[in-house]
Each structure stands twice: as C-alpha cells, then as structure tokens.
Amino acid sequence: MRSTRARLHIVYGLAGFSLIELLISISVMAILMATATISFNSWQTKNKMEAQTREIFADLEEARIKAFTQKKVHGVVYQPNSYVMKSYSSEAEYSPIANAQTKGTIIATKNFKFGLTLGDLTTDITNATVLFDTTGFTNLATGFKVIVNPVDASPSVNCVVISAARVNMGKWNVSTSKCDFK
C-alpha cells in the first residue's frame, strides 16, 4: 500500500521539476543576467565620463576664482589624458604661451581614464593652455572646447567650453560639432 504522501503526489501532480525545466530556467536567468551586466557597464561608463567632465569644469572654475581672488595669473595646461593646474607669479612665466607650459608653480595634476581632445576632435590637445588673468578673464577670444572621449558613449555631459568671461558645460553634438549647453 502506498503512503499518504505518495498518493498526494500522484493526485495533485507534485512530482517535482524535470531536468529540461531546470535547464530552461537556468538559461533564461543567464540571458537576463548577461543583459543586465551589459546595461550596467554602459551606465557605469557614462557615469564616469560625466564625473570627469564635471571635475574639469570645477577645476576651471576654481582656477578662474583663484586668479581674481589671489590677484595671480592661473592656468591649465592640457595633455591627452591629463592636465596640470598652475599659478604664475610674473608675466615672464606665462608670456609667451610656451613659457606657461614649462614654468609656473604646479598646484595640481589630474590624470584621467578617458582621453581629452579639442573641439574639432582631430587636433591634438597636447600643451593646449588656458590662462586666467587677475580679473578672471581668459586669454581666449573665442570658445576653447575640451571634449571627453569617446563621444559616442552618450553621457549627459561630455564637453566644456571656455570663453573669455565664462566656462560652460554641455553635451557634444557630433552632427553640428558644437557643445549643447544644459
């Protein structure tokens, strides 16, 4: 005679999972996990690019503020994956601009994971220099664009435009080759 438990399994169909059902469930879970991982990695890259762009923006604003509060010329000398923030005590240290790249007191050096380029995406940013005079204005008559690459990663902000009187942050528009401000 069968036990009560065995009779319940037969009557209610509680025989358990088959191996096929178990394999299908594991396969579906693996596909969902792979999709979630790819999506998370993409989100993480965008987030890091945005953080790098915001750091560049904040450092430029800091250099501008220090220039007019300390009444000393401050500058930023760019490299493809880094930049150096400097202060200058005399005009001989930053004029001509080639002196600004080699002279001056280093305040900070920043290294980045994502590369930097100028606004046209083809010009090398090596030794590109932005100076803020004692009034907080730059030596630039037109906008100087710094772009965090790759631009196709679609972060919400990835470019900084430095003009004579202000610094703006935005998203690089590949089709118009402009930084659209937020």
Could you tell me the domains of the chain? 18-181 (3.55.40.10)
* Strand 159-162 with 167-173, pairing: antiparallel
Distance CA 105, CA 87 (A): 5
**What pLDDT, on a 0 to 100 scale, did the predictor assign at position 12?**
58
Token pair 């594991």 in the structure block, residue:
26
pLDDT computed for residue 104 by the predictor: 93
Q: Which amino acid is at 15?
A: A
* Peptide bond between residue 150 and the one before it cis (omega within 30 degrees of 0): yes
Contacts by 101-107, CB closer than 8 A, 24 or more apart: 101/77, 101/127, 101/129, 104/75, 107/74
- Count the neighbouring beta carbons within 10 Å of the beta carbon of residue 25: 11
Distance CA 165, CA 116 (A): 22
The one-digit pLDDT tens for each residue of the chain (182 residues) are 556 665 655 555 556 678 888 889 899 998 888 887 777 888 888 999 999 999 999 999 999 999 999 999 999 999 999 999 999 999 899 888 888 899 999 999 999 999 998 887 777 888 889 999 999 999 776 778 999 988 777 889 999 999 888 899 999 988 888 889 86
Contacts of 2 (CB under 8 A, 6+ apart): 10
